[in-house]
Chains A and B, each alone.
Chain A
């Protein structure tokens, strides 16, 4: 392997006799109750990841219902009202049930390992915040069986369609969002408390890996915007059940206020779903390029810069709602500026590759695909920022293509990259190489076949969220549907690979990848239940 300077050195602190309280802590119930009551960050991380994968598959089934209906023009399989429920549930489940919990799961597993902490700072809270999620999403999915059906107003639930004109199940939807929101907030508090207080002695903030950094910033974003979401849905609840008029023009309210509030939460939310992805890719690329991350400091600053800008751009989701000219210009300029720090990140990843020593393990394949396809999503994002052009793009499949490019080959690919990267650490086995490669290429082709044609159908004039379309969009929709089924079914392969990897496979050493330099690779593979019980002494690289 390429000879690298040791990035840091660990000195095990002198072993100490374990105290009585220590022993007590190690008492564990067996069987199912072990998982229900666990306070161990690794087990909770696993629970989060399993939950997320389940939601990913359920949300995926909803997406396939949508794509099946859109395979051909005309109504064949479902009626419009059910179609709307499917698009809505797909969005809600994927955003709040799949992507966010997956990142929290990865954080649970990897943040303590990467900063040399024995566990999360608040282990019991950690257990609680996980178990809120199944409750929230059982409630949300149960709305499908309620009279009047599930929420059908899109994952952005614009008032008054989601208040005055909403199905009766909306109250349960609001409750489930509240619960999921509390779970996210508690998770974020835990992560902040862990990162700020439990770093190994000698590890300063600027010594942390990019994954930990991006999660720290993400957690602050969560703390800042999840309460706003809670506020918005509370106002909806009051409009629906208590006769207030926050969003009802007839009572002196304003439906557009809903959109301002929603996107004040919603835009930072978008970055909540992509910043940890930046972090994962920023630890994977250096590993498989066997070269230090280029511009570490700039990466941290760019992350912070994106997070701050995310609070100043929300109204670019509302360019056609009738904003005054000055507001339109302000949000156009601020949105365009986001391209700068985002560009810095992409350039840094590529320069990290430049003159490296690159190998293409499955994790690296997903990370490379992330960089390319996320950048394509970034380009369409830049086009969408140009307000006059957005008058044509807005609410068309061009937008659908854009945000799926940043969320599927963006966020989802980064999660898969992270799973392939850390599976040896979690299970002690390497994932099956051939099958992983198959999974990558099928996903890669499927995802592009699904979402690339959407750029064209959108530009040609196909609005989003329609169950049926005019004939000129037929060809592109057929391609998208074929791609969607290809992508969807290849994820079953992913499930198989993960199960196989848990049960066996090629044994992995503590340092599973020869370019991997972070702290987690110093503990054995699979990582024992308790790691870093005595804090390692961290020695930073000399800069």
Chain B
């Protein structure tokens, strides 16, 4: 049956077999990707270190979340829209109660959520900020030059995940099983694409920041 004719069938397909396929591809792809990185490792470093690596590495993992004041002054729009939508996306992903239930179902861990209207507002802001990042990508000479088809694909998938979530929550697509099914479907697309595209940065960013912080930290610089 088609999606329109059988929305509940569509929802159950996305919640059942497709979810399993998506999570399997995600887990496989991500584990492969992380193994690729971590097993490559680093060559031994014989230079006398000025300081340790672990703490500076961990510090950089945290501190790179916010820009230095100079960069913020030079690229406030880029920095702000990026920060806003990332924070919004994470709030919606991790603090929306239905999502917490999903994570609890998957991994057995849970935490307190935020009131739905607050998450709803955050989601709306996230959508606006995401739209702004697209405009910025299409207009700023550097981003225009850097961007590949993959960048636009990833933007589209990310935007659609948030948009369908917003539409489903606000029940702007009817019937609801169709709306929820579309949201789950786009989220699964996101999961499937994650290990094979730059979406991997969600996980590798911690490794990259750590390597950076460790390398600078070893030389006595807080990076």
Chain A complexes with chain B: no
